[in-house]
Structure 1
Amino acid sequence: MAEPEEDDDYMADLSRFLPPEASGPLPKKVSNSKASSVAQPYKKKPRAPNWQEQRKIDRERKQQEEDEKTLANIEAPIPQSNVGFKLLKQMGYTPGTALGKEGSGRAEPVKVDIRRSRAGIGREDPSKEKRKREERRWEEEKRNEESLMEEFGSRKKSQWQIRRVVVNYNKAKAVLEQLENKEVVLPDKSEEEGEDGEEELITEEDLQEILMKLRDEHQYCLFCGCQYESMEELLSSCPGIDEDDH
């Protein structure tokens, strides 16, 4: 008896169900040159002036050209072919000298100041006045700043001097107690401050008093840092009482 034929596995090969053109290699994607190009940063184009701005620019340029031409014509000397120059020479005028009797007049012509503003005669140009106001304000601010810096420096210097007086007083007090064979007690914060929590005020007179006591009674100079054998040696070797003398 013949064996039954095995069923075909229709899922084994799917390529036979694909169309002929799909079974081949995939076509390459054509790249767009515009899309593949690197994106350039956006640059804002300068705005073109409108007709009013362009008219103002043209008018200012024309006025500047006219002013330069006018000043060039004024500064140019009068040629000798000029009728007025010939009349002056006939009346005895010498080129380069002043006008008037015995040359007492003006030797140079009156200078011309071209004004385009609507300010009255005798008043400066508003732009110049504004510039002067700004300069005055800047100078005033500079003076105020210098004054503040000077005040700050003097205040810091005063604070430093007060601090130096307190430090030297504490040193002198500790040395005096040591020379008097007393127990040296470092100043406590509670002792330096008063009942209200304020620092004890030590003046330069207090410092001078304790320095003189060290010199008179113990022949000791705080700033020299030594005790001399006699008062004569102290006076001859020590440059002075104050710290600045040392």
Structure 2
Amino acid sequence: MSDEEEDYMSDAFLNKIQDVKPGVSMVRRVKEAMKREEKHKEKNIQNRQKTFKEQENESRETALQTSISNENKGFALLQKMGYKAGQGLGKEGAGRVDPIPLNIKANREGFGMEELKKRKAEEELNDYRQKVRAKQQNEAKSLEDFRSRVRTERDERKVEADLRRSQRSCEQLDSQKGIAEPREAWYWPKVDAKDEDDDAEEEDDDEEEEEIMELTPFDKLQILTSYLRGIHFYCLWCGTAYNDEEDLCSNCPGDTAADHE
């Protein structure tokens, strides 16, 4: 090997190369750039002229945090009347100690607008509560009306069923005693419609018809059960024909369905 050619494996060549770890120089440069940017921002803030609003806020905060001095005429008058710094207002010192807080108005709304908005919001809230309350009352009333209607319809069906039972019992008991015709037409179950038409044709059209009040199923049931108890000593709800009136009164709970529940 000639003297002009360098030996890449020799110590002389390796010492010429700087020992740089991967990534270290890049991180250092980024940190230095960030520090320079922060210093630049700080200088800009220090050199920037404050706006009038910022100066006004700083002056106000400084004034509010500074106690009133003796040079203030109002404070001097209070001291002449016996007031001492840190003492509450009033004859006995029970009044305010701190000044009334300052509320800065940040919008262009007139005085009293805030109270008006608050009152309007309360009125809207009250209206909403009244509407909700009225809706709940209407729903409760509708539900109660529905339940009452269902109870009424159920009771009517029960009365009609009891009436049919009492009519069949009346026809059977009357027949056993040799009674050929019911005391009233409705005491026994209804006859065929054809027979009813024949009976209607036999009536004289010229004869004045008497007005008869239509009885309700409940009225018919009461009349018919009284007839069965008085004539046949029979209780519809017991389903028993007793020996006599004394036997009926002694052993039957009563003359209504409720008495037998």
Query: TM range, normalised to the smaller chain?
Result: 0.3 to 0.5
Q: Which has the larger radius of gyration?
A: 2
Q: Which has the higher contact order (CA 8 A, sep 6+)?
A: 2
More helix by share: 2
